Structure 1
Amino acid sequence: MQDLFTEDEQMLQESVRRFMRAEVEPLVPQMQAEGEPPRSLLKRMGDLGFLGTCFDGAYGGSGASLATQAIVSEETARVDAGFDLVLFADIMLFARAIAKHGTEAQKQKYLVPVLSGDRIGAMGITEPGGGSDALGIVTRGRQENGGWLVKGAKTFVTNAPTADFFLIIARTSDEESRIDGGTWFILDRGMEGLATGKPFNKMGMRSSPTGEIFLEDVRVGEEQVLGQVGRGFHMLMDSLDVERVMVGASTIGIAQACLDEAAAYAQERRVFGKAIREYQLIQEKIANMATGIEMSRTMLYRLLRAVERGEKVTREAAILKYYSSRMLTEVSAETVQIWGGAGQLEDNKTARLYRDGKHHEIGAGTNEIMKVLIAKETFKEMGYGRK
């Protein structure tokens, strides 16, 4: 399906794939054991231009298409989904928000070192009291002495234990509309009143450190407000479509790794005198896996082109996120099934793929929320709005 990419994008895909196999794959056992990637690996990717492919060249990016970032994500997730999650939070959440809404000074201070791989970013939205209701946060920011005091807590924050910079959303005024009155703050590790908890011991995505952020009257200057005061939730909602589309790159990458493992094992494993790939029930599994991956991949890159044209893809982004993540859990389960008893051994890649795959049915909006959104947007497109 090379018609999905331009010639430059094909060249990037080949380069990233070689890099992942040669320099990242050997580090996967270390990253899984230590719970985080080495800083030198992010620096190496920054030096090669793999972190900021779709960002402005003035800040260390390559100025290429949004699809290039998806290519990097897909190839990364194919090798280690946890590492891809680190990059997703670092680049697509933190860096992209700074690039889109930051001042020139903020871009120089925060965006440049993240795209170079010298620093790591994180974004805190979810709180201990709830996740899917992003507008129901209780973290508060109040103005005082020409600045702000931010108080509250965030949880399930990717990169929280290791990040240098944090984007935190807080409610800064009580508005009649819940979507009004939110503000983003850029915080630095080491600020008085800011602390992070120990990394969670997660079932999957073990190369990705996840944890809590505690904010006890953190004093923030006006220069650390991102975007317009009171418009934070609007900024968040505007970014969700792209975030959900980009999740598709990760689900496809993991699913492709599953297919790689399943097909190779089906070729080498022999039962009753022949390779199991010759049995129709195994062929059915492989066919279903390949179909789901290609359907998801085609939709992913079609939506990325639509986003670049400025089209609204709320419904389609939710469909891709829902379909591809559900596809992934099925594909990872079938991979274990094809491997049989060996598929349940932690020494085999199949176990890691199975554990990692479940994450994407929950992160970036649960599949239950996606189905609600798809239904609402479908009714809206058919003209059945609320009365």
Structure 2
Amino acid sequence: MKRQISILISTILLFIVSTSCQKDGDQSILSLDVETLQIPNEGGVFEIKVNSNQPSKAVITYDNELYKNWILMLPSVLKADGILELRIDPYHFIDADRKATVTITAGDQTKTVNISQVARDGLIIDQNIITTTESSKTFIVNVQSREPWTATVGADASSWCQIDDGASNGTADFSIRLTAMNTGTVRKATITVKSSTKTEIIELQQGYGVEIGNLVWAHYNVGDPNTFASSIDNRGLLYQFDSKIGYPNSSPNEDPKTPIGYVTGAFASGPEWYPNNDPSPLGWRIPSEAEILALVNKGYTWLTPEQSGFSIPGVILGIPKSEALKVTPTNTRGGIFLPQSGYRERDNGHQYNWWDATMTSSSRPGHNWDRPVFWFNYESLGGSYTNGNATAYPVRCIAK
């Protein structure tokens, strides 16, 4: 009997020990490689490495529930060890850092990662370049700041460029008022927005053109001879090589009248457009092929009216696409707008092409029967090619 009791007690003790060891073996294990993440304001992709012997689930909570979903976490559930990928949006505000918490649970274990994304610098303005036409106008600039700031214009431009509401404490707008420009090609102003810790500069140009590189390019196509078109998005008239006669720009072929300003095959002109036949306004001239190419190499972007606010499609020349996508009819942001205009054929004068934006050069290098032209459309830059002297194209000028 005693032997049986002893065996029973041993069996019970063995069961208890076995059960205890089994429970210890099944105990949840959860560890992370980080406890906090400091995220720059530009955002990016970040990782949390999870070490677990059981499936885990992760959830995100935001300190401000009004501004959430700025973190995309993939995946949210892991079978065991694994990596949580966090794709974090850029943060454009300056008032304060934004915060969130990732909570990871596996069995009876819970771990957290505190995430903080820093706010942007203490002074931000919504535009750093303004290039506009000669008429009077007003621009509104938004300033975000953590401290008091002022906006001032250089003394050399103060007679025609005025600042209103140029001081504030925090986020606010100020106005830039420009008077009309009656003479000259372009004038410049530098506007300084400054707090105690940071300075931002606005480079402003106003005039009939905009300086790109070392040349001033007109904002307008030529309309009637020696006159600019009425607006940036006005197509103007079409001109044959070395001719001062402008022909209607129809879209499509509303006027089939054959251009007669230059007789095809009568090569009386030399290799350049003669100054007395130049339809450009006083103080302006037609650019060379090399000058147009240099402009194109600085950047070109096709824009629709929905993108730009212009009345017709066209191409922005002289600036990168990132800036071109911000262009408006009042601010070309350092570039020029070349409207969709097409050209008139050399043989019969019909305007079969009206969907391209085109530009003619002043020279005929190496011969005198064709001249280089450039064309652009919504697909690409068509490049420079030669076309007959009697073909009529828009004229875009540069200042002499």
Higher relative contact order, chain-length normalized (CA < 8 Å, sep 6+) = 1
TM-score bin (small chain): under 0.3
- Higher strand proportion (structure 1 or 2): 2
Q: Could you tell me the TM-score, scaled by structure 2's length?
A: 0.21
Q: Could you tell me the TM-score, scaled by structure 1's length?
A: 0.22
